[in-house]
């Protein structure tokens, strides 16, 4: 069941086979897999539990309730970049756009060649992806609800000869309310809070909300449990203590919090790689003033993509934003701001995502485990790629009939036509000249690899230094993916769950006999059958999961 | 939030959020209330920087215009804010950006502001309830 701190009588002591820190794309699937295998699973989540009835379309409320630090998490460096992260049951999957892309083949090849991860084979990963896609009912965005903003951009890009299409998403029967980032109000998006976690709870897992893990208990080189504190939902102050003794500890708190917790616990530090190797997919945006109203923000925010420039590390993906977010994105204030906002229905927007080549970042321990510091410097090559992506979006918007294009670049905040466009193309950007940059998908800070001297975890997810301590979130990805990572994290989480199962059931004859791939194939078959059954029957209400 | 900052924020709200066409004007109380919650839920670092920026804005205005930002006539105040936004030194253009973040979010988070812009929350909530998706 889901246990919220309001109903607790006092300090809690628990025993379990597995304790998982974090309930997002990594923690959720592991909780489901292992609890369905019959293990006792306890999940600790720092954020609160919200259901579709709680999601109220308002950016302000979503930022303060569902996002870590009200979305004020930034990187220190040049330029300063906002990196929004979820802090709620389901983690960032609750507030992402639902895009489900597989790892590009050239990235997997790099993992094999540079990181020695040859045992993560294309075949195995393919099976895992299929199982997750089946479970989350992933399909291409429906053009009917893709939103005029995205359709217009895509048509214009195709007119220029650029390849693109509709993105695969985990949102069946999505009606395009346009507020994925504030929690799906219809429950269509199959984020972890409505998929893996409820299934884990049904299989017997317990999830404690507003419980911050502070200490990973290690005895004799082996992880044996977690200690933490509950947080008052209103003041955020610490209340009761939580202690879980477990055979296996899974750290799945995300690429910023996971290394921070390790550093504060002084664990796994001998390779010197904890917190290093941060990549974040820096994102640009181009807004355009058009003649026709676009019906913003109705429509799937991230329904379309242009991948013509993916080989260069540039991916263009749709993004429609409600008024409250557009208001903080505009690069001016006062009267001009008000006049631009008045034209909100006529303003289109699209985003770009850069797969980093020469940028570098790291997470270091802050004054407290809760407040790690994130440093990141955008490299010259990536800055040029960012400028190129903005130019490409401007070109596509102008071809779509835009009168003006708004960019986040100082001195070029408003492009009015080909002359401005050419001037920007000639200009060499400086890093301080990019306004209000954001980035998503922090990853790589506890990377996996075949060499204990240059990685933090094995390909099984277990740390090199502490037995029975597993890491499973975006921090394990050894390189930037160049695409949205949730599907890859979930697939690797299923893989890690298989290794944990092996560890916990060492000696069990049946499980040893069947190979891991064979078991995966079995799971895929079971998944298809259970979805067919689920579609035929009725689901539990999310409120019934509460303790 | 201390009373000093509450008072300053109340007076800054109409400078940052100008009235336009048929949209309701800024409600300083609502801006203060939202900003209080936004800052409370956020990072201590942002909170400190936000408060510091209130002082810095005033200091720059006194230095450049010879008057308090709160006593500038509306057009002059708008011009001053724009000049900071457009300044080529990032350190200066960041000042109104940071101050504007909670204020603009507060204002455009209001239902009576969002509805005329085509974002009708009440209607969408009704539709979402009718179209609940079961797994």
| pLDDT score, position A517 | 61
Domain shared by A243 and A131, yes or no:
yes
Contact state of B135 with A293 under an 8 Å Cβ cutoff: no
Give residue A513's pLDDT band: very low, low, confident or very high (50, 70, 90): very low
| Number of A–B residue contacts, CB under 8 Å | 152
Single residue among A410, A439, A468 that ends a domain in this structure: A439
**Comparison of pLDDT for A436 and A309, the residue scoring more:** A309
Could A175 and B88 be called an inter-chain contact, meaning their C-beta atoms sit closer than 8 Å?
no
Same domain, A214 and A251: yes
- Would you say residue B104 has pLDDT above 70? yes
Where are any strands of DSSP class E within A106-169? 139-140, 164-166, 168-169
Tens-digit pLDDT profile for residues B24-65: 999 999 999 999 999 999 999 999 999 999 999 999 999 999
Closest by alpha carbon to A270, among A409, A406, A453?
Answer: A453
Output the domain CATH number for residue A359: 3.30.560
Return the pLDDT at A335: 92
φ and ψ at residue B97, rounded to 5 degrees: -65, -45
pLDDT band at A72 (very low <50, low <70, confident <90, very high): very high
Same domain for A33 and A3: yes
Distance (Å) from the C-alpha of residue A273 to the closest C-alpha of chain B? 26
Given this model, what pLDDT does residue A464 score?
97
pLDDT mean over A423-452: 91
What's the pLDDT at A411? 87
For residue A404, what pLDDT is reported? 95
CATH no. for residue A234? 3.50.50.60
Question: Measured between alpha carbons, how far is B71 from A241 in angstroms, rounded to an integer?
Answer: 52
Same domain as A160, residue A291: yes
Please list every residue in chain A whose beta carbon sits closer than 8 Å to the beta carbon of residue B117: 323, 341-342, 344-345
pLDDT beyond 70 at A326: yes
> Domain total for chain A?
2
pLDDT surpasses 80 at A512: no
Averaged pLDDT, A465-494: 96
CA angle, A202 then A207 then A208, to 5°: 155
Mutation test of the interface with chain B: which of A327, A438, A541, choosing the one with the most B Cβ atoms within 10 A? Answer: A327
Question: A399 CA to chain B: closest CA distance, Å?
Answer: 25
Contacts of the segment B4-10: beta carbons below 8 A, 24+ positions apart:
B5/B51, B5/B54, B6/B32, B6/B36, B8/B54, B8/B58, B8/B70, B9/B35, B9/B54, B9/B103
Q: Give residue A509's pLDDT band: very low, low, confident or very high (50, 70, 90).
A: very low
Same domain, A265 and A321: no
- pLDDT at residue A514 tops 60: no
Q: Determine, for residues B18 and A335 on separate chains, whether the beta-carbon distance falls below 8 Å.
A: yes
A376-388 confidence digits (pLDDT tens): 999 999 999 999 9
**If you average pLDDT over residues B82-89, what whole number do you get?**
90
pLDDT over 90 (residue A43): yes
Q: Which pLDDT value is given to residue A506? A: 77
Active site residue A264: no
Q: What is the mean pLDDT of residues A41-58?
A: 95
Tell me: pLDDT of A511 over 60.
no
Question: In terms of domains, do A404 and A509 share one?
Answer: no
Q: Tell me the nearest-neighbour CA distance from B120 into chain A, angstroms.
A: 10
| A216 in Cβ contact with A261 (< 8 Å) | yes
Q: What is the pLDDT of residues A163-193, one digit of tens each?
A: 999 999 999 899 999 999 999 999 999 999 9
Minimum Cα–Cα distance from B130: chain A residue: A186
Helical H runs in A414-465? Answer: 418-426
To the nearest whole percent, how much of chain A has pLDDT over 70? 94
- Residue A52 CA to residue A346 CA, distance in Å, equals 29
**Mean pLDDT (whole number) for B8-19:** 94
Task: State the burial class of residue A260 (Cβ atoms within 10 Å of its Cβ: 0-12, 13-18, 19+).
Answer: buried
Q: Domain check: are A79 and A131 in the same one?
A: no
**What is the spatial distance between Cα A97 and Cα A308, in angstroms, rounded to a whole number?**
21
Contact A433 B90 (CB under 8 A): yes
Range of the domain at A486: 1-49+88-96+101-137+191-278+443-547
Instruction: With CA atoms as reference, report the closest residue to A345 among A370, A326, A318, A360.
Output: A326
- Residue A218 sits in the same domain as residue A344: no
CB of B122 within 8 Å of any CB in chain A? no
Provide the 3-class DSSP secondary structure of residue A316. Answer: strand
Average pLDDT, chain A: 92
Pairing of strands A206-208, A2-3: parallel
Q: Write the residue in A72, A172, A331 that is nearest to B133 by C-beta.
A: A172
Query: In this structure, are A41 and A114 located in the same domain?
Result: yes
B16, B109, B128: residue with CB nearest A58? B109
Last residue of a domain, one of A376, A411, A439: A439
Per-window interface: B 31-70 vs A, CB < 8 A:
34, 37-38, 41-44, 46
CA atoms of A157 and A9, how far apart (whole Å): 59
8 Å CB contact of A64 and B41: yes
Clarify whether residues A154 and A171 are in a common domain.
yes
pLDDT at A369 over 80: no
Q: Phi then psi for A353, rounded to 5 degrees?
A: -130, 130
> Are residues A339 and B20, on separate chains, in Cβ contact within 8 Å?
yes
> Which range, of A228-232, A537-541, B73-77, averages the lowest pLDDT?
A537-541
* Interface mutation vs chain B, best among A46, A57, A346, most B CBs within 10 Å: A57
Among A6-15, A175-184, A466-475, A508-517, whose mean pLDDT is lowest? A508-517
Domain boundary among A404, A439, A474: A439
The Cβ-side half-sphere exposure at B91, using a 13 Å CA radius, reads 3
CA dihedral A376, A381, A383, A384 (to 10 degrees): 180
Q: Would you state the pLDDT for residue A371?
A: 85
Contacts of A177 in chain B (CB under 8 A): 124, 127-128
pLDDT per position as a tens digit, A201-215: 999 999 999 999 999
Residues A239, A118 within the same domain: yes
pLDDT at site A531: 67
Same domain, A457 and A523: yes
Verify cis geometry, omega within 30 degrees of 0, for the bond prior to A79.
yes
Tell me if A339 and B78 make a contact (CB, 8 A cut-off).
no
Structure tokens that stand for A167 in this block: 């993105």
Pairing verdict, β A282-289 and A41-44: unpaired
Closest C-alpha to A404, from A418, A391, A417: A417
Contact residues on chain A for B128, CB-CB shorter than 8 A: 52, 175, 177, 185-186
């Amino acid at each position: 069941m889901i246990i919220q701190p309001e109903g607790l009588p006092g300090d809690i002591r628990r025993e379990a086979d597995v304790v998982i820190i974090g309930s997002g794309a990594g923690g959720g699937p592991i909780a489901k897999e292992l609890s369905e295998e019959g293990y006792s699973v306890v999940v600790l989540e720092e954020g609160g539990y919200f259901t579709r009835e709680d999601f109220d379309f308002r950016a302000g409320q979503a930022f303060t309730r569902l996002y870590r630090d009200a979305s004020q998490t930034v990187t220190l460096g040049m330029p300063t970049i906002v990196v929004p992260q979820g802090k709620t049951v389901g983690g960032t999957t609750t507030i992402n756009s639902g895009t489900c892309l597989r790892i590009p083949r050239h990235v997997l090849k790099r993992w094999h060649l540079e990181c020695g991860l040859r045992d993560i084979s294309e075949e195995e990963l393919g099976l895992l992806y299929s199982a997750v896609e089946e479970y989350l009912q992933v399909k291409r965005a429906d053009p009917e609800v893709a939103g005029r903003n995205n359709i217009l951009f895509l048509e214009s890009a195709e007119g220029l000869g650029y390849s693109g299409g509709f993105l695969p998403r985990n949102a069946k029967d999505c009606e395009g309310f346009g507020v994925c980032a504030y929690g799906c109000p219809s429950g269509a998006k199959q984020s972890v809070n409505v998929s893996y976690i409820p299934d884990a709870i049904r299989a017997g897992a317990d999830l404690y909300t507003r419980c911050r893990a502070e200490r990973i208990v290690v005895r004799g080189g082996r992880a044996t449990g977690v200690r933490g504190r509950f947080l008052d939902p209103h003041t955020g102050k610490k209340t009761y203590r939580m202690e879980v003794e477990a055979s296996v500890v899974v750290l799945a708190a995300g690429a910023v919090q996971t290394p921070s917790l390790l550093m504060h616990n002084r664990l796994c530090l001998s390779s010197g790689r904890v917190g290093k190797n941060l990549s974040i997919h820096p994102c640009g945006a181009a807004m355009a003033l058009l003649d026709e109203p676009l019906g913003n923000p109705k429509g799937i925010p991230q329904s379309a993509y242009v991948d013509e420039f993916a080989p260069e590390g540039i991916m263009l993906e749709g993004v429609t934003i409600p008024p409250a977010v557009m208001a903080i994105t505009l690069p001016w204030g006062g009267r001009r701001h008000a006049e631009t906002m008045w034209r909100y229905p006529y303003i289109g927007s699209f985003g770009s995502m850069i797969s980093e080549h020469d940028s570098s970042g790291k997470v270091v321990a802050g004054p407290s485990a809760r407040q790690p510091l994130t440093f990141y410097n955008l490299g010259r090559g990536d800055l040029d790629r960012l400028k190129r992506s903005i130019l490409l979006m401007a070109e596509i918007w102008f071809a779509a009939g835009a009168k003006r294009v708004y960019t986040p670049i100082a001195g070029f905040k408003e492009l009015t036509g080909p002359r401005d466009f050419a001037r920007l193309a000639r200009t060499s950007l400086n890093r301080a000249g990019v306004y209000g940059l954001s980035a998503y998908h922090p990853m790589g800070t506890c990377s996996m690899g075949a060499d204990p001297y240059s990685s933090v975890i094995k390909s099984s997810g277990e740390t090199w230094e502490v037995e029975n301590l597993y890491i499973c979130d975006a921090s394990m990805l050894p390189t930037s993916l160049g695409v949205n990572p949730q599907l890859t994290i979930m697939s690797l989480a299923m893989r890690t769950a298989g290794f944990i199962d092996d560890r916990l059931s060492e000696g069990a004859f049946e499980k040893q006999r069947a190979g891991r791939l064979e078991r995966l194939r079995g799971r895929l078959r079971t998944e298809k059958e259970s979805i067919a059954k689920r579609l035929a029957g009725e689901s539990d209400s999310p409120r019934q999961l509460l303790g | 939030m201390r009373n000093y900052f509450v008072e300053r924020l109340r007076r800054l709200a109409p400078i940052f959020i100008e009235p336009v066409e048929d949209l309701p004007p800024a409600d300083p109380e609502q801006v203060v209330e939202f900003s209080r919650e936004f800052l409370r839920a956020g990072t201590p670092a942002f909170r400190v920087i936000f408060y510091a920026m209130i002082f810095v804005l005033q200091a720059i205005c006194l230095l450049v215009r010879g008057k308090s930002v709160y006593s500038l006539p509306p057009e002059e105040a708008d011009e001053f804010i724009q000049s900071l936004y457009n300044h080529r030194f990032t350190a200066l253009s960041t000042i109104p950006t940071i101050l504007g973040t909670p204020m603009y979010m507060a204002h455009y988070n209001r239902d009576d502001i969002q509805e005329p812009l085509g974002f009708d929350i009440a209607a969408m909530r009704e539709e979402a309830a009718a179209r609940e998706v079961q797994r």
